[in-house]
Homo-oligomer: A and B are copies of this chain.
Amino acid sequence: MTSDGSSDLDKYLKQNDSRIREELFEFLRIPSVSARSEHNADTARAADWLKQSMEKAGMKATIHPTSGHPIVIGEWRNAPGAPTVLVYGHYDVQPAEPIDLWTSPPFEPEIRDGKIYGRGSVDDKGQLFLHIKAIEAHLATRKRLPLNIVLLAEGEEEVGSANLEEFVEANQDLLKADVAVISDSSMFAPGIPSILSSLRGLAYFQIDVQGPKCDLHSGSYGGAVVNPATALARIVATFHDENGHIAIEGFYDNVRVWESRILDQMKKLPFDEGNFLEETGSPALGGEKGYTILEQLWARPTCEVNGLLSGYTGEGAKTVLPAKAMAKVSCRLVPDQDPADIERLMDAHIEKVAPKGVTVTVKHLHGGRPWRAELDGPIFDAARRALKKAFDREAVIVGEGGSIPVVGDFQRILGMPVLLVGFGLPGENAHAPDEWMSEDNFRKGMIAMAALWDEYGQNGKP
């Protein structure tokens, strides 16, 4: 079968376009917010919905309970002798708050200007669902796939994938494959298909500062009692020096310098700083001095405050000396930083800088390793051809500032290469109000993935 042989698949996808969209909307309507226990029933409902959707596509589907949210597995294994691929996605979504900043309600998907708006549209329900539909195209059209597929959908990606590693460890036979494919990332720009070569890891902390036993009157006690909010601010202020360099001792010890062929290609990417600035809406860019923005985003680690809370935060003035203060802080990591090392370094740093008069505790909320792809081999060649077919343009190699912890787990536990090919776009508001996915990318993603199985099934035999 040639790379043009998938026109029957394209036709199927085109003919079923509106039904497919309606099914996607059904999926997006389920508020499967993994972080919120009040949504546990919704998250379970999303897993059931997914199982039925896999079955409708022609796969065998099973739900695997975990101590958190279940894992859904779809399988089609009727191509003996052909390679096996493991496709990963997640059906849980980020919390939708602040709800009032959404133009349309987060769980009532709506298309405006070619964008599918809704929580999870691009991260990751839309990208998971396009894989199911690419498989369905094969099985509905030809009654078979040119390779074997195992589709793993987890429900805890947005809360740290706490049970995934254990599941992967315990189910190595079920998940055995020649290669893993993940679509949970973005293209470099509209129309430019992209293969992801690196991910940052994560070490997420909660810092709790306890001062007096209860909120005190700031007049009667202020000046003599150490203020936990001030103490917290002073701790956070020690994380960086005046050049945006992270000032935690030993933090950069294991940062690997990128190969020049990747850096050179990165410098040729059509990156527009002005657009990026406008996209963020920031008054000016910042970050670590001496690095380009793409290096800051892809090749350098960070230490970011994700949340702050202390004392009185309502309207007007209340003269309270708060009893406690809290910060959520997370470090993005790059190869070869290890989250466990960073946790130790952060603990040691906090111990060093914590002022007297307050009690500071650091919780390690979760961690994930950074990752770098090996960019040679049959799956990458097949992906380049499939992407060119769908988008009519050569794919570029990009980095990613975010984390997909499962990538490291797959590579480490299952010993397989991982192809990261995503169909999001810059500015898609993943994790923010008005999350969207390009409708065009949703369609081309299905076409590209359907074509990938042809390309890899034909050329990727191990």
Question: Which residues of A are at the interface with B, using a C-beta cutoff of 8 A?
Answer: 35-36, 94-95, 101, 159-160, 186, 200, 202, 204, 206, 210-227, 229-230, 232-237, 239-240, 276, 280-288, 293, 296-297, 300-302, 304-323, 325-328, 330, 332, 355-359, 365-366, 400-403, 429-434
Contact = CB atoms under 8 A, between A and B. Distances in A.
Given A101-B214, A234-B240, 8 more contacts: A212-B281, A214-B432, A218-B302, A219-B403, A222-B401, A230-B236, A286-B357, A319-B431
Contacts of A214: 101, 281, 429, 432-434
B402 A219 contact: yes
Given A313-B326, A318-B94, A221 B306 contact: no
Contact of A217 (B215, B311, B355, B430): B430
Given A35-B314, A330-B317, A217 B281 contact: no
Contacts of A330: 218, 317, 319
Contact of A357 (B284, B300, B325): B284
Given A211-B282, A219-B200, A357-B286, A317 B230 contact: no
A211 B408 CA distance: 32
B317 A225 contact: no
Nearest to A221: B280
B304 A230 contact: yes
Contact of A328 (B35, B276, B318, B359): B318
Contact of A226 (B229, B285, B328): B285
Nearest to A331: B222
28 contacts: A94-B318, A95-B314, A202-B319, A204-B319, A211-B283, A213-B282, A214-B434, A215-B431, A215-B433, A217-B402, A217-B431, A217-B432, A218-B302, A220-B402, A222-B304, A224-B296, A226-B284, A227-B305, A229-B307, A282-B358, A286-B356, A306-B312, A306-B321, A308-B308, A312-B328, A318-B431, A319-B330, A319-B403
A402 B233 CA distance: 24
Contacts of A225: 280, 282, 285-287
A304 B224 CA distance: 11
Contacts of A200: 219
Contacts of A434: 214
Contacts of A306: 218, 229, 311-312, 317-322
A168 B60 CA distance: 83
A308 B229 contact: yes
A404 to B, nearest CB: 9
Contacts of A229: 236, 305-308, 327
Contacts of A313: 307-309, 326, 328
A157 to B, nearest CB: 11
A35 B315 contact: yes
Contact of A233 (B94, B237, B293, B326): B237
B332 A218 contact: yes
Contact of A321 (B213, B230, B304): B304
A11 B428 CA distance: 82
A159 B216 contact: no
Give the one of A234, A316, A325, A432 with max B CB within 10 A.
A316
A220 B312 CA distance: 31
A276 B421 CA distance: 62
Nearest to A205: B317
A205 to B, nearest CB: 9
Contacts of A315: 35-36
A213 B276 CA distance: 12
A266 B418 CA distance: 73
Nearest to A210: B283
A252 B223 CA distance: 14
Contact of A237 (B237, B319, B332): B237
A422 to B, nearest CB: 12
A355 B286 contact: yes
A280 B320 contact: no
A204 B315 CA distance: 13
A224 B305 contact: no
Contacts of A285: 224-226, 357
A32 to B, nearest CB: 15
A258 to B, nearest CB: 14
